[in-house]
């Protein structure tokens, strides 16, 4: 079969996947798109099965069996998307315009899933059996709690390397930081604004805490650097407190996004805030605050752990070689990218994992989410070469 055949195929498959909404406001979310992928793989002759994650929400695991003499490779991609919110065009149109395929999830990351499946089929249809297995894990829930890939790892899947196909613009990531969302709740005491000395102002107390964090913790984080992911960082993402101008604010909450490095962990991260809270409590007996992990970001058992870089692993070397040959220069290593399911595969699955996929991160979650059609056809070739070299 010709390369053109696969080019048409991957574009059509991406369009079909984009046309099936699979975000959190859809009943049973990814169930329909999973069924489509399952049927597509089955009729194409891949071994395929479901993993029931929650109710009708299922991962699809498809396999191209090798001879059992080579290394096994996981292709991981998530099949949920963020909601359309206010997109500039019909989010599920999957139209092609000016060389781009448009729609929610085309870039993040149904295009990559289509490339992975098409690469597996291109190898299968050549009639060559590789030494190792290629295993597609089309996972649910990455945009929420990553319950899909958490389930994949807990199912005991084994492989010698994995690719997570998040958009990387012909570059790759060997590491990224872990992610934790924290909320600090500060309690005050309400009083009339004309006699504020009778109350305790939670907003003022929050301001004190913020200053202390900026002075004491942030400089420390800056000093913690990782070659593959940059510094440890935090961000005050939301503050909310009080009821109206003429009442002393009796409560205030601060929400924090914290990106941590290998060597740091969630307990340690929380303790650093707790120590500052305790310090202020010791000097100000009116200061009351507690810190909690935000439920909206909590995984079942795992944490949003870092992707641990293993530059000497076979998968890292293979990706480097294939991309270098393809782009004809040193491929770009992304050092400060956001969190992906690669953190789960690498930290808990102990599988050396690299992030590379079609598209550009700037279009993920965007009002104009789109992906260059040429990236789709190129990534079929890139994934095919990676698999052929890695699993040979």
Residues that bind Zn ion (CB under 5 A): 108-109
Nearer to Zn ion (CB atom), residue 108 or residue 303: 108
Cα 124–Cα 130–Cα 134 angle in degrees, nearest 5:
70
Q: How far is it, in rounded angstroms, from Cα 63 to Cα 51?
A: 13
* Residue whose CB is less far from Zn ion, 149 or 310: 149
Q: Which is nearer to Zn ion, 31 or 340 (CB)?
A: 340
Residue showing the smallest CB distance to Zn ion in the complex: 108
Rg of the chain taking only CA atoms, in angstroms: 24
The minimum distance between CB 343 and Zn ion, in angstroms, equals 12
In this complex, which beta carbon is closest to Zn ion, that of residue 71 or of residue 370? 370
User: Least separation, in Å, of the C-beta of 225 and Zn ion?
Assistant: 26
For 194-226, letters b (16+ CB in 10 Å) and e give eeeeebbbbbbbbeebeeebeeebeeebeeeeb
Number of helices (H) and strands (E) in the chain: give both, helices first. 10, 15
Residue 182 C-beta: closest distance to Zn ion, Å: 23
Give the containing element (helix H, strand E) for 275.
Answer: helix 266-283
Beta carbon of residue 176, minimum distance to Zn ion (angstroms, whole number): 12
Which CB atom, from 23 or from 71, has the smaller least distance to Zn ion?
23
CB of 41 to Zn ion, least distance (A): 21
DSSP character at residue 214: I
Both tokens of residue 362?
């700037």
If the CB atoms of residues 79 and 109 are measured against Zn ion, the closer one turns out to be: 109
Q: What's the burial of 339, exposed, middle or buried (CB within 10 Å: 0-12/13-18/19+)?
A: buried
State the minimum distance, in angstroms, from the CB of residue 253 to Zn ion: 28
C-alpha 131/C-alpha 278 separation (Å) is 58
Pick between residue 109 and residue 113 the one whose CB is nearest to Zn ion: 109
With b for 16 or more beta-carbon neighbours within 10 A and e for fewer, the 284-312 pattern comes to: eeebbbebeeeeebebeebbbbbbbbbee
The DSSP line for 41-110 is: HHHTT-EEEEEEEETTEEEEEEEE---SSS--EEEEEE-------S-SS-TT---EETTEEESTTIIIII
Q: Which is nearer to Zn ion, 166 or 250 (CB)?
A: 166
Q: How far is the CB of 83 from Zn ion (least distance, A)?
A: 14
Least distance (Å) from Zn ion to the CB of residue 361?
Answer: 9
């Amino acid at each position: 079969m010709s390369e053109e055949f696969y080019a048409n195929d991957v574009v059509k498959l991406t369009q079909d996947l984009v046309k099936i909404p699979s975000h959190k406001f859809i009943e049973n979310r990814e169930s329909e798109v999973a069924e489509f992928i399952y049927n597509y793989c089955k009729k194409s002759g891949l071994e395929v099965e479901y993993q029931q994650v929650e109710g009708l929400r299922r991962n699809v695991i498809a396999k191209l069996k090798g001879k059992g003499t080579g290394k096994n490779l996981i292709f991981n991609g998530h099949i949920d998307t963020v909601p359309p919110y206010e997109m500039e065009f019909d989010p599920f149109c999957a139209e092609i315009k000016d060389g781009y395929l448009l729609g929610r999830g085309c870039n993040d990351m149904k295009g990559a899933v289509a490339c992975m499946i098409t690469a597996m089929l291109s190898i299968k249809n050549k009639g060559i059996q590789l030494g190792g297995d290629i295993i597609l894990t089309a996972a649910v829930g990455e945009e929420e709690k990553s319950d899909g890939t958490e389930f994949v790892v807990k199912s005991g899947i084994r492989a010698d390397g994995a690719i997570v196909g998040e958009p990387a613009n012909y570059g790759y990531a060997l590491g990224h930081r872990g992610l934790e969302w924290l909320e600090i709740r500060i309690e005050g005491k309400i009083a009339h604004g004309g006699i504020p000395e009778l109350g305790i102002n939670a907003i003022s107390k929050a301001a004190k805490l913020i200053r202390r964090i900026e002075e004491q913790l942030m400089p420390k984080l800056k000093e913690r650097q990782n070659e593959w992911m940059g510094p440890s960082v935090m961000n005050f993402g939301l503050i909310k407190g009080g009821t109206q101008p003429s009442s002393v604010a009796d409560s205030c909450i601060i929400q924090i996004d914290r990106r941590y490095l290998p060597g740091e962990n969630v307990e340690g991260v929380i303790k650093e805030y707790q120590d500052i809270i305790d310090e202020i409590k010791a000097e100000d007996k009116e200061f009351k605050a507690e810190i909690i992990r935000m439920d909206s970001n909590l995984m079942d058992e795992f944490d949003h752990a870092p992707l641990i870089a293993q530059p000497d692993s076979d998968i890292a070397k293979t990706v480097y070689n294939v991309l270098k040959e393809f782009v004809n220069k040193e491929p770009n290593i992304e050092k400060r990218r956001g969190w992906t399911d690669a953190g789960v595969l690498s930290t808990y699955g102990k599988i050396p994992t690299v992030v590379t996929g079609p598209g550009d991160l700037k279009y993920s979650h965007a009002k104009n989410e789109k992906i260059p059609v040429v990236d789709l056809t190129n990534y079929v070739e890139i994934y095919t070469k990676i698999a052929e070299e890695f699993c040979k």
